[in-house]
Amino acid sequence: MVSVLLIAEHDGRDLNPSTARCVSCAASFAGNAVDIAVFAEHGQDVAEQAAALEGVRRILLIDRPENAPPLAAVLAPQVAALAADYSHVLGPSTTFGKDLMPRVAALLGVGQLSDIMAAETPYRFERPIYAGNAIVDVEADPQTKLVATVRTASYPQAVTGGSAQIEARSLNIDLPQHTRFVELRTDADTSRPDLQAAARVVSGGRGVGSADNFALIYALADALGAAVGASRAAVDAGYVANDLQVGQTGKIIAPELYVAVGISGAIQHLTGIKDAGTIVAINKDEEAPIFEVADIGLVADLFTAVAELTDALKR
Amino acid sequence: MKLPDIMKAKKKPLDTVALADLGVEAESQFKITNTGPPPERQKGVMVADIAGLVSELKKKGLVDG
């Protein structure tokens, strides 16, 4: 019997959209045998958001103070304990999932399948290798529990409108004491949409030239209601913080609209944006590889073009 | 690293251990059955100026107007 335990990603208040994308993946091969585990402290709100996702059977709410910070070391043994009743354990291939799921796999004594992008059967999957330059079909042993991460960019968010039952669970296991949450320090700008979840993203590259010039990118992003991203070159040059990096070693995203400004389009960057709905590229070099994948390309000096575009959008 | 060190390293004993003696199974639960190229994106349109860019975005319904 195929049944999926999906681990919810959330910040204590809101369910991360990666969870709704994972539901689409799970439902594609497991029908309605999909349960979501919410590990939280005071997690009723998050559990209710999860319960509203169409295609979910049950929500398991594991509410305890230790689950307030999403620490992989603390969550993993709890996930492993819940996993006994399931054939599949899924998480998103976000920083959260990539931290947690390998620990779960190790505790269960199995391997982990990473970055599911399509499921043919419950045990046959497609996943990308070589930074998305090749796709492999992987067959998993049906006799073994499958622990996997889902490439969230490959799946749409499950729609809301469901009303799954919420069950509170208490797990009688000792949690590790060796890892504890101390404090979260962040420069992250919370006035703009989250890069990983945003429907629109404006990214700047080396061509932007300096941290000060990035103000242009922020202005355009605000005119579009978009999140801000950056290429690795821009991050390495210190123009922006590295949590804005889009690409193979940064975030892999699938917004409706992606605007690449002054980004040449190295293969590692393109890997991060392949599933975007519409890609717009503004670059002064008409030979830039970004134009090979762009839906709309403009060869222009970015400083005048971005200012003009921002004005045009505000009008 | 100096050459004499490399020569000394060559004299170190090298043990070969059979996997079976370690009591682990090397069987993988995963098998790769096919490798192929990813789907390609269609090449898009080039626009000459911002007005062209905005009208393309409007056509796709990505900006209002």
pLDDT (tens digit per residue) in A232-280: 999 999 999 999 999 988 999 989 999 999 999 998 999 899 889 899 9
Q: How confident is the model at residue A53 (pLDDT cuts 50, 70, 90)?
A: very high
**Residues A108, A96: Cα–Cα separation, whole Å:** 19
Nearest alpha-carbon partner for A115 in A86, A94, A99: A94
Per-residue pLDDT of A151-173, as tens digits, reads: 998 999 999 999 999 999 999 89
Predicted pLDDT of residue A1: 84
Compute the average pLDDT of residues A285-306. 94
Compute the average pLDDT of residues A221-225. 93
Predicted pLDDT of residue A314: 85
Look at residue A23 and tell me whether its pLDDT is greater than 60: yes
Question: Using the beta-carbon criterion (under 8 Å), do A144 and B29 form an inter-chain contact?
Answer: yes
Q: Which of residues 130-159 of A touch B (CB under 8 A)?
A: 132-141, 144, 146
CATH number of this structure's domain A4-168, picked from the four choices 3.40.50.620, 3.40.50.2300, 3.40.190.10, 1.10.3260.10: 3.40.50.620
Domain boundaries, chain A: 4-168, 200-314
Torsion of CA A40, A41, A44, A48, to 10 degrees: -20
Average pLDDT, chain A: 94
What percent of chain A lies above the pLDDT cut of 90? 84
Per-residue pLDDT of A97-131, as tens digits, reads: 999 999 999 999 999 999 999 999 999 999 999 87
Strands A134-140 and A124-129: antiparallel
Question: Using the beta-carbon criterion (under 8 Å), do A140 and B57 form an inter-chain contact?
Answer: no
Name the β-bridge partners of A147. A89, A112
Q: How confident is the model at residue A188 (pLDDT cuts 50, 70, 90)?
A: low
What separation in angstroms does the CA of A307 have from each of A51, A174, A204, A311, B56? 44, 57, 14, 6, 18
Shortest distance between the Cα of A89 and any Cα of chain B, in A, equals 15
Q: Residue B21, SS3?
A: helix
Per-residue pLDDT of A29-51, as tens digits, reads: 999 899 999 999 999 999 999 99
Predicted pLDDT of residue A189: 66
Which of B29, B44, B48 lies closest to A110 in CB terms?
B29
Question: Using the beta-carbon criterion (under 8 Å), do B38 and A224 form an inter-chain contact?
Answer: no
**According to CATH, what is the number of the domain A200-314?**
3.40.50.1220
Give residue B12's identity as a one-letter amino acid code.
K
Angle at A253 between CA A220 and CA A221, to 5 degrees: 10
Look at residue A218 and tell me whether its pLDDT is greater than 70: yes
Name the β-bridge partners of A5. A35, A89
Nearest alpha-carbon partner for A51 in A33, A29, A68, A36: A36
Task: Write down the residue that tokens 């069987």 correspond to.
Answer: B27
Question: Using the beta-carbon criterion (under 8 Å), do A134 and B36 form an inter-chain contact?
Answer: yes
Mutate to test the interface with B, among A117, A256, A280 (most CBs of B within 10 A): A280
Predicted pLDDT of residue B65: 57
DSSP A177: S
Per-residue pLDDT of B18-55, as tens digits, reads: 888 888 877 889 999 999 998 877 778 999 999 999 99
Question: Using the beta-carbon criterion (under 8 Å), do A138 and B30 form an inter-chain contact?
Answer: yes
> B53 with A269: CB under 8 angstroms?
no
